Amino acid sequence: MNNDAVIETVQLSKRYGNTLALDHLDLCIARGAIHAIVGANGAGKSTLFRILLGFLPPTSGSARILGRDCRALTPQDRGRIGFVNEEHTLPSWMRVSAVIAMQRRHYPRWNQQAFDGVIGHYQVRTEQKVSQLSRGERAGFNLALALAQSPELLVLDEPTLGLDVVAKRAFLESLLYGNASDTCTVIYCSHQMDEVERVAENLIILERGQLKNMSAPDEFCARVSHWIADIPFQGPLPASVPGLLQVQRIDGLHHYLVLDQDEDFGEFLRASGARSTRSMPVSLDRAVNGFLAKNHAAPLAA
């Protein structure tokens, strides 16, 4: 057991019938900072969260959160964990003031300053009913409530899904400037790489229930490069291209997205008949989506 870890899984597996959602996952996330978990649909993210929060038992292996076995979480343990999901589920019939009062009673470490620091980004009035709030206002209210409980761990599962550009910006600013990562560890799950690039210090990539990457976002991005080659014929067979993630032919030029290749890759292309080559850096969005597309296409081992 790692005492410095907020989340630790050992050979964690979850099977639904013939479907293996988590495949002997070994994952250790250190305390502090904002950690982004990304993956294609079916990567196992939702299953992992449900197991970590004690809502679902694993098929085999173990999972711990804040040092506690996820199968034996107490109400006190759950009070140390904040959770915001994409639905921003709140009691719609209650007034904002009543929800705040309820949360203050439930969480003895309630931090009014943290709540005020986030809710100030939104036009939320205490006399309003939750049902009268826009989706963006509900998202901000939900985040303010979660941070005000002074959690040691804050889990954000697709928190900006369905928000417009203005609401999304307000949510991210309230997360960053609410100093969430100064007081707790943040797990941020999103398909939006622009969000991940802005907020995350650690990038965790899951695919088919397995850990595929854990590094700083810029370190992962540096592993992926985009090469453009002028090849006057079909070019090398994809199976022979080292580190290949994607290949496209655009306006007569071959575009290769490759992993962990240096200048020797240019030599490979020239040896394969390229008349000219050049490499370009790629965005985090392009790097992650190319990586996921490659891995998602691979068959899952039994």
Share of the chain above pLDDT 70, in %: 95
Structural domains in the chain, CATH included, are: 31-58+68-215 (3.40.50.300), 224-297 (3.30.70)
Measured CA angle at 53 (ends 130, 131), to 5 deg: 10
Is the alpha carbon torsion for 76, 159, 203, 23 positive or negative? positive
Indicate if the pLDDT at residue 302 is higher than 60.
no
CB 288 within 8 A of CB 217: no
Position 86 scores a pLDDT of: 82
Q: Report, as an integer, the average pLDDT of 89-117.
A: 91
pLDDT one-digit tens code per residue, 109-132: 999 988 998 898 888 999 999 999
Mean pLDDT over the full length of the chain: 90
Report the distance separating Cα 244 and Cα 208, nearest Å.
Answer: 19
Position 4 scores a pLDDT of: 82
Position 168 scores a pLDDT of: 87
pLDDT one-digit tens code per residue, 244-253: 999 999 999 9
Indicate if the pLDDT at residue 254 is higher than 90.
yes
Position 180 scores a pLDDT of: 59
**Residue 193: Cβ within 10 Å count:** 21
pLDDT one-digit tens code per residue, 190-222: 888 988 998 899 999 999 999 999 999 999 999
pLDDT one-digit tens code per residue, 51-70: 999 999 999 999 999 999 99
Share of the chain above pLDDT 90, in %: 66
Report the distance separating Cα 229 and Cα 117, nearest Å.
Answer: 52
- Relative orientation angle of helices 165-177 and 112-119, to the nearest 10 degrees: 150
Helix intervals (H) in the chain: 45-52, 75-78, 96-106, 112-119, 135-148, 165-177, 180-183, 193-199, 217-223, 264-271, 284-297
- Relative orientation angle of helices 112-119 and 135-148, to the nearest 10 degrees: 160
CB 51 within 8 A of CB 31: no
Position 200 scores a pLDDT of: 92
Instruction: State residue 4 phi and psi, 5-degree precision.
Output: -90, 0
Indicate if the pLDDT at residue 133 is higher than 90.
yes
Please classify residue 270 by burial: count the beta carbons closer than 10 Å to its beta carbon, then call 0-12 exposed, 13-18 middle and 19+ buried: middle
Q: Report which of residues 49 and 178 the model is more confident about.
A: 49
pLDDT one-digit tens code per residue, 159-170: 888 888 888 888
CB 122 within 8 A of CB 128: no
Is the alpha carbon torsion for 168, 173, 176, 179 positive or negative? negative
pLDDT one-digit tens code per residue, 262-299: 999 999 999 999 999 999 989 999 999 999 987 655 43
